[in-house]
Amino acid sequence: MELYNTSVRKKVKFTPLKGNRVRLYTCGPTVYDVAHIGNFRAFVFEDFLKRVLTLVGYDVTHIMNITDVDDKTIQRSMDRKIPIAELTETYTQRFFQDLDRLKVIPADGYPRATDHVKDMQEIIQQLLDKEHAYISNDGSIYFAIDSYKEYGQLAQLDLSGQKSSERMADDDYTKENPQDFALWKSWKPEDGDVYWESPWGKGRPGWHIECSAMSMKYLGHHFDIHCGGVDNMFPHHENEIAQSVCATGKPFVNVWLHNEHLLVDGGKMSKSLGNFYTVEDLLNHGFTSEALRYILLSTHYRTKVNFSLEKKHEAIKAVQRVQSFWDRLNEFEVSDGEMLPDESEAFINSLSNDLDAPGALGIAFDYIRKMNNRIDQKEITQAEITMAINFMKQINHAFDFLSLNIEVPSEVTNLAQLREDARKAKDWTKSDALRDQLKELGWEVRDTPSGPKCHLIDL
Ligand code: AMP
Ligand code: ZN
């Protein structure tokens, strides 16, 4: 498999650092407002990456953080005069609901920044000890970018003309303005009751240190893949690298993947510009979950997508073509077997080529057209039906365009409930045994933030 690694600006052969398991970190939402469909381009792309990795045979451990304290969340809670925890909890739950509506497979963990301030303080202390950071007059702590000679490599900044660094207290700033950035912000009256005690007095973490702390805590110092939208490349990811590498003295991320933006009328869809649609808006406009997935996935992740409501018709038609072919296949007697058509190899090869979704979908739609003709002509064979079913399962594993609405049998829900009870009682042997029993019936339970959900394996 080849992936385009932003740090070297080219496609590289991908091999996990340890065995067959891919450790993946993706920057999560800043929960000060509802995430929009532009944000979901990033999250659905990351879900797609995970689906492709598992389709080609890897196991994946996926961590996505929730940014529940930063400049924006504090400002919004002040504006609305509500406690920050109340604001962020509302939008966190809304985020999980939207992920579910878009059929995104839950991550293995959604750590919240506010639960990890101690971990951040430890990294900051290491950076102070190693003189990569300094305490300013107001008690805030800054990372000294000239103490790390690789600074700017990810974003390809030319810092040769830069003499001494200015300081930047804000979480976000532009590439034209690289500066020493805040690791720890000392308490100011505008922060209200949002602060933590620290060896350096009351304060709160900067945004960038949050992702260094949570990614390394759950995935180790050096892990496989880190994703985010292109806007996160600088300063956020550049700063994450500087903090992590300087604190641990070890490499941080093996492959950086960045998705391009979703645009509206040629400009970036963003919360601050107010030009956004939420998932709920679009479902109310008559888009289906599958049609939204089609819009978000049918353009290559490194190409900009221009979103408009006019895309609805084409997207619904495309996913219906997949659905009606699937329904048609299921009218036949289906026999067991693992055979696949030649197109399957080409499909997987496209996906393995830096997730070439448009190429893979081209293969899938040509195949559907060809097989529909064979059904029309009454030429299709039993073996072809079996192969088509298997290939459609692969396509769906990656894209999830089929709306299956399968009823969960009561036997499965009962076993899932017993497993949940065993997990609550920390009886891992029993919960594993129940998981295996479910697996034998062809079902798996995914632990989503809104509780366990039953899914048919492979679909
Ligand atoms: P935020 O909640 O602003 O921290 O963003 C969450 C994720 O969405 C990050 O990976 C961003 O890079 C990404 N993102 C934000 N706006 C867009 C957009 N218009 N198109 C694609 N990705 C975006
Ligand atoms: Zn991040």
What's residue 168's pLDDT? 86
What's residue 162's pLDDT? 67
Last residue of a domain, one of 199, 224, 259: 259
Let me know whether 62 and 154 are in one domain. yes
Let me know whether 179 and 64 are in one domain. yes
* Domain contains 188: yes
Residue 12 in this model has a pLDDT that exceeds 80: yes
Residue pLDDT, tens place only, 261-286: 999 988 888 877 888 999 999 999 99
Read off the pLDDT of each residue in 198-218 and give the average, rounded to a whole number: 97
Read off the pLDDT of each residue in 398-425 and give the average, rounded to a whole number: 88
Assess whether the C-beta atom of 277 lies below 6 angstroms from ligand 1. Answer: no
What's phi and psi for 354, nearest 5 deg?
A: 50, 45
Please tell me the residue having the least CA distance from ligand 1 atom 21.
261
* Three-state DSSP state, 164: coil
| 370 Cα to the center of ligand 1, angstroms | 38
| 229 Cα to the center of ligand 1, angstroms | 5
Let me know whether 48 and 186 are in one domain. yes
Assess whether the C-beta atom of 27 lies below 6 angstroms from ligand 1. Answer: yes
Residue 451 in this model has a pLDDT that exceeds 80: no
Read off the pLDDT of each residue in 290-298 and give the average, rounded to a whole number: 98
Residue 1 in this model has a pLDDT that exceeds 70: yes
Among all ligands shown, which has an atom nearest to the Cα of 42? Answer: 1
Last residue of a domain, one of 212, 237, 259: 259
Question: Which of 33, 39, 232, 303 has the most ligand 1 atoms within 8 A of CB, as the residue to mutate?
Answer: 39
Average pLDDT of every residue of the chain: 94
* Domain contains 405: no
* Domain contains 124: yes
* Domain contains 404: no
* Three-state DSSP state, 385: helix
What strands, in cross-sheet order, belong to the sheet with 267-268?
267-268, 262-264, 305-307
| 163 Cα to the center of ligand 1, angstroms | 32
The Cα 60–Cα 54 span in angstroms is 7
> Which helix (DSSP H) or strand (DSSP E) does residue 386 occupy?
helix 382-399
Last residue of a domain, one of 229, 259, 289: 259
* Domain contains 279: yes
Residue 95 in this model has a pLDDT that exceeds 90: yes
* Domain contains 299: yes
Say which DSSP state 234 is in.
Answer: I
Rg for the chain (alpha carbons), in Å? 24
What's residue 136's pLDDT? 94
Please tell me the residue having the least CA distance from ligand 1 atom 20.
261
Ramachandran region, residue 194 (left: φ > 0; alpha: ψ -120 to 50; beta: rest): beta
Question: Which of 92, 207, 231 has the most ligand 1 atoms within 8 A of CB, as the residue to mutate?
Answer: 231
What's residue 164's pLDDT? 60
Which distant-in-sequence residues (6+ apart) come within 8 Å of 335 by Cβ? 382, 385, 386
What's residue 199's pLDDT? 96
Among all ligands shown, which has an atom nearest to the Cα of 238? Answer: 2
Let me know whether 272 and 252 are in one domain. no
| 428 Cα to the center of ligand 1, angstroms | 37
Please tell me the residue having the least CA distance from ligand 1 atom 12.
229
> Any idea which of 7-11, 99-103, 164-168, 249-253 has the lowest mean pLDDT?
164-168
What's residue 335's pLDDT? 83
Q: What is the largest CA-CA distance in the chain?
A: 81
What's residue 447's pLDDT? 78
Q: How far is CA 350 from CA 3, 315, 344, 347, in A?
A: 12, 21, 10, 5
Residue 101 in this model has a pLDDT that exceeds 60: yes
Contact 176, 157 (CB under 8 A): no
Please tell me the residue having the least CA distance from ligand 1 atom 18.
38
Residue 222 in tokens = 């050096």
| C-alpha dihedral, 355 to 311 to 260 to 393, nearest 10° | -20
Assess whether the C-beta atom of 26 lies below 6 angstroms from ligand 1. Answer: no
Let me know whether 29 and 161 are in one domain. yes
Read off the pLDDT of each residue in 294-300 and give the average, rounded to a whole number: 98
What's residue 453's pLDDT? 79
The CATH number of whichever domain residue 15 belongs to comes to 3.40.50.620
Q: What is the pTM of this model?
A: 0.90
Count of the separate structural domains present in the chain: 3
Residue 449 in this model has a pLDDT that exceeds 80: no
Assess whether the C-beta atom of 99 lies below 6 angstroms from ligand 1. Answer: no
Label residue 209 by pLDDT band (50, 70, 90).
very high
What's residue 334's pLDDT? 80
Assess whether the C-beta atom of 231 lies below 6 angstroms from ligand 1. Answer: yes
Q: How many CB atoms lie within 10 A of CB 263?
A: 17
* Three-state DSSP state, 311: helix
Which distant-in-sequence residues (6+ apart) come within 8 Å of 184 by Cβ? 120, 121, 124, 140, 141, 198, 200, 203, 204, 205, 206, 209
| 336 Cα to the center of ligand 2, angstroms | 45
* Domain contains 160: yes
Q: In which residue are the tokens 């058509």 written?
A: 341
Label residue 374 by pLDDT band (50, 70, 90).
very high
Assess whether the C-beta atom of 237 lies below 6 angstroms from ligand 1. Answer: no
Among all ligands shown, which has an atom nearest to the Cα of 228? Answer: 1
Residue pLDDT, tens place only, 385-397: 999 999 999 999 9
Residue 130 in this model has a pLDDT that exceeds 90: yes
Q: Report H helices in 203-303.
A: 207-219, 238-248, 279-284, 289-297
Let me know whether 276 and 424 are in one domain. no
The Cα 193–Cα 12 span in angstroms is 47
Write out the residue range of the structural domain in which residue 192 sits: 2-259
Question: Which is nearest to 181 in space by CA: 214, 226, 116, 136?
Answer: 136
Among all ligands shown, which has an atom nearest to the Cα of 29? Answer: 1
Let me know whether 336 and 193 are in one domain. no
Residue 6 in tokens = 């932003």
Which distant-in-sequence residues (6+ apart) come within 8 Å of 224 by Cβ? 16, 17, 22, 23, 24, 253, 254, 255
| 361 Cα to the center of ligand 2, angstroms | 30
Let me know whether 186 and 273 are in one domain. no
Contact 243, 53 (CB under 8 A): no
Q: What percent of the chain has pLDDT over 70?
A: 97
> Which helix (DSSP H) or strand (DSSP E) does residue 180 occupy?
strand 180-186
Amino acid at 268: K
Let me know whether 20 and 45 are in one domain. yes
Residue 259 in this model has a pLDDT that exceeds 90: yes
Let me know whether 368 and 431 are in one domain. no
The Cα 361–Cα 297 span in angstroms is 10
Let me know whether 79 and 95 are in one domain. yes
Q: How many CB atoms lie within 10 A of CB 28?
A: 28
Label residue 458 by pLDDT band (50, 70, 90).
low
* Domain contains 237: yes
Residues less than 5 Å from ion ligand 2, measured at CB: 27, 211
What's residue 161's pLDDT? 67
Residue 177 in this model has a pLDDT that exceeds 80: no
What's residue 99's pLDDT? 98
Assess whether the C-beta atom of 38 lies below 6 angstroms from ligand 1. Answer: yes
Let me know whether 352 and 450 are in one domain. no
Question: Which is nearest to 257 in space by CA: 221, 231, 230?
Answer: 230
Please tell me the residue having the least CA distance from ligand 1 atom 7.
39
Which distant-in-sequence residues (6+ apart) come within 8 Å of 412 by Cβ? 438, 441, 443, 454
Residue 223 in this model has a pLDDT that exceeds 70: yes
